[in-house]
Amino acid sequence: MELRVNNLSCARGGVPVLAGVSFAVAAGQALILRGPNGAGKTTLLRTLAGLQPALAGEVSVGADDVALATHADGVKAALTVAENLGFWAAVHGQRDIAPAISAMNLTALQSRPAGQLSAGQRRRLGLARLLVTGRKVWLLDEPTVSLDAASVGLFVQVITTHLANGGLAVIATHIDLGLTAAQTLDLAPFKARLGALP
């Protein structure tokens, strides 16, 4: 499994945001996306996930291989933590949610309605969902927002395990996660010039 992106251009709301992005991430590696607000990190991740078509260029993995974690966690307030996770596991044809629950330290919160969770706990639930998708390519959009230091450490461990098992990750983040097998890509130079509208 390798994620290879070749000369990709993507748009948000019809306006080109990024042009000529190329990179390759091998199995076991992570790519950290950097760039100021509005640089196109989210747009790039959504394009990689197949939610919006690319203006030009190729992506080597299909939408069936990627698991996306966006700003919104896809958590239903009326369902408990275990029910939320169980639903996403069932959607992805998985059964066992216990490893995901323990990996993100949610054991004590299992039967709590998700609406009563704090922002950080909610985020942990959203990230635990990645583990029940069983997918190899993780696309993470600022995964550490509202997490405390201990939870960030926990999450870095989860990513490290995922990478060690042959997975790969593309992570948009502003903080230093301390991942060893990571390359960094700054998106600022790929900004699409508005004059170059197709």
Interacting residues toward other proteins by CB under 8 A: 13, 46, 49-53, 63-64, 66-68, 70-76, 78-79, 83, 87-88, 90-93, 129
- Least Å distance between CB 138 and other proteins? 12
Nearest distance in Å: CB 82, other proteins:
13
CB 130, min distance to other proteins, A? 10
Residue number, 91 or 188, with CB nearest to other proteins: 91
CB of 11 to other proteins, least distance (A): 9
Instruction: Give the number of residues written for the chain.
Output: 198
CA dist 55 and 157 (Å) reads 35
What are the CB-based long-range contacts (under 8 Å, 24+) for 161-164?
161/103, 162/130, 162/131, 162/138, 163/28, 163/29, 163/30, 164/28
CA pair distance 157, 65, nearest whole angstrom: 22
Q: What are the start-end ranges of the E strands in 27-167? A: 30-34, 56-59, 66-69, 137-141
- Taking the least distance from each CB to other proteins, the nearer of 68 and 104 is 68
Q: Please name the amino acid found at residue 78.
A: A
- CB nearer to other proteins: give 32 or 75: 75
Q: Which is nearer to other proteins, 95 or 176 (CB)?
A: 95
The amino acid that residue 67 corresponds to is A
**Secondary structure class of 179 (helix, strand, coil):** coil
Q: Which is nearer to other proteins, 91 or 145 (CB)?
A: 91
Instruction: Please identify, using beta-carbon distances, which residue of 65 and 191 lies nearer to other proteins.
Output: 65
> Are the C-beta atoms of 16 and 170 separated by less than 8 Å?
no
| Closest CB 172 distance from other proteins, rounded Å | 15
Q: Which residue has the tokens 């996770």?
A: 85
In the complex, the smallest distance separating the C-beta of residue 89 from other proteins, rounded to whole angstroms, is 9
